[in-house]
Chain A
C-alpha cells in the first residue's frame, strides 16, 4: 500500500512542516522505500509479546519536592525570537 503524495502532504501538515512540492515528491519516493523496508516487521510473530518502550526496570521516580533555584525571567527569555515584557510574544491566535 504505497504512500501517495496526498498522504505525505497530510503527514507534513500534522507535523507542522511546510514542504515545497518538490520536497513532497522526493519524500513520497523516499518514505515509500523506507516504509516498504520496515514492513518486514509484519512477518515477525509477536503474539503474546508485551511492547517494550524502554529497557530499565523502573516505572516511576519520585523525589522530595524541594524548592531550588530557577532561571531568572531574563535568562529564560533570552533565546526567545520575540518577547513582550515578561512573556514570549506570538502572532495572534484568534482571528
Chain B
C-alpha cells in the first residue's frame, strides 16, 4: 500500500513516533491531488502554501515537545459550504464565486485547534442541493471507482477526495443524505450526526432544521476521531446541544451486547438494486453470526419521507437563500432598471437551475392558499415519521438497511429528471426529518466493481453506540481496506 492509502490510525502512530512528518504527509497528499485530481476533480480550491505552512508548524511544535491536537498533521478536505476565513467559500455557486468569509465556521475553528492541516475545499452540488455533485456551477466530480459515474452528492467532492486518497479525512454536510449517500457510492465511511451534535455556525444554510455537518474517512476509527473533534456545544448556534462529547474512539472495539437490529421492510421495496440488496442481507448475516438479533420492523410512513422532505427543505431553503440579494456579498447583476429588478436579475443570473427550482417550490408551498395544504401538512407527516423511529428504537438499538437503492449512477443519467434524482435519497432522508444519527459503511461491491453501503440509523445522541456497532461489522470484513486503482 502507498502512504496515502493508509487510514488515520496508522498515519497518526507514524507521526507520533517521528517516522513521518506532517510536512512529508501533506506533500504526499498534495502530490496525489496533482496527479489524480485532474481526472477526479474533487477539489475546487487547494490551499497548497497554507497547508504546508500549517504542517511545518505542527512539526515544529512536535520537535519542541509542545502539546499537540488530536489531528496533529493530518490533512482534512472541507466541503465548500463551510466558511473558512480568507479562503474562498463558494457553495459551488456563481452567486458566491468571489466570497471570502471574514470568519471561520465553528467546525473549522475546532479543526485548527486540533492541529489539522486544511488542504482545500471540495466540490459539491450548488448550495448542497443535489445527489450527484453535477449541480456544481464549476465542475463535475467523478467517482474514483468508475470515472464515468458520479460520486453521489451533495458532498461528492469530499467523498471522492477520501476515496481517491487525495486526503485521509474530509468534512461534508448532510441535509437529506448528502454525507451517507456519497460515502456509500464511493466506498468509504460517512456519518451524519444527530441534529444539534455539531454546531452549524459558519455552515452556509440550506434547510436549517435538517442540516448537520459530519465526517468522512476510510474506516470507522477515522470517522470517530473526526467526530470527536467537531462535535460539541457552541453558543453561536442555538440548536447546538450542550451534551458532553464522549471519547468515541475509547471503547470502539467493545461489541454492543445484547444487540438488536431492526430491519424495516419498507427499505427493501421496489427500486432496490438486486446486488445492493444481496450485499446488505449478507451484512445482516454477519451481525447474526456475531450474536445480534435481527428483528423485522415497520416504519410505515417511510414512503412519504421524500415528499415531506421536498416540502420542508425547499420551504426553508427559499427563506434562507433570500439573503443572496446582490447587496451584502456575492454576485450583483451588471444591468438593471431598479432595486427589485436588481434582486431578481442578480438571483436569476447567479443561481443554477436546481437551486431556482427548489426556491420556486419552497416559495410555492409557503404561498397564500397552499401553506396549509403543503407546508403544514408536511410538518405533521414529519412528526409521524419521527414517531415511527421512536417506536422502532423502543425495541432495537439501530435500524439497518441499504444507504442508497443503487450503486453509483452514470454522469448525466438523472440530470434531466429532478424527481428521479430526488428518489436516490429515498433511504437517507427520514434520518434528517427525525433528527437522528446515521452512518454509511462499505458492505460490498457489485460485480462491476462499484461500492455498496450499509446504513445504520441510531437514536439521537447515541453516536458512541452507533460507531461501535458499525465497527463490529467492519472488524469482520475487509471492504474498507480496498482502494480504487488510480495512478
Contacts and interface: CB of A to CB of B under 8 A. Distances in A.
Do the two chains bind?
yes
Interface of A: 3, 7-8, 11-19, 23, 26-27, 30-31, 33-35, 37-42, 44, 46, 49-56, 58, 61, 63, 71, 75-76, 78-82, 88, 90-93, 95
Contacts of A41: 304, 307-308, 311, 374, 377-378, 381
Contacts of B418: 30, 33-34
Contacts of B356: 17, 19, 23, 27
Interface in B296-331: 301, 303-304, 306-308, 310-311, 318, 322, 325-331
**7 smallest beta-carbon distances between A and B, as pairs:** A55-B435, A18-B348, A51-B379, A79-B329, A81-B332, A52-B383, A46-B380
Interface stretch (B37-45, B117-125, B262-270, B335-343): B335-343
B376 interface: yes
Contacts of B342: 90-91
Nearest to B300: A44
B46 interface: no
B367 A79 contact: no
Interface residues of B, number: 71
Contacts of A31: 357, 360-361, 364
Given A31-B361, A91-B336, A95-B338, A19 B328 contact: no
Nearest to A3: B364
A15 B363 contact: yes
Nearest to B373: A42
A33 B419 contact: yes
Contacts of A11: 360, 363-364, 367
Contacts of B363: 11, 14-15
A51 to B, nearest CB: 3
Contact of A53 (B238, B336, B339, B379): B379
Contacts of B357: 27, 30-31
Contact of B327 (A38, A44, A80): A80
B139 interface: no
B14 interface: no
Given A34-B418, A38-B311, A81-B332, 11 more contacts: A13-B344, A15-B363, A18-B341, A34-B310, A35-B361, A37-B307, A38-B378, A44-B304, A44-B377, A51-B379, A79-B98
A76 B310 contact: no
Nearest to A72: B102
11 contacts: A33-B419, A37-B306, A38-B374, A39-B307, A41-B307, A41-B377, A44-B377, A51-B379, A52-B386, A56-B195, A92-B338
B235 interface: yes
A38 B338 CA distance: 37
Contacts of B102: 71, 75-76, 78-79
Contacts of B343: 16
Interface in B79-118: 98-100, 102-103
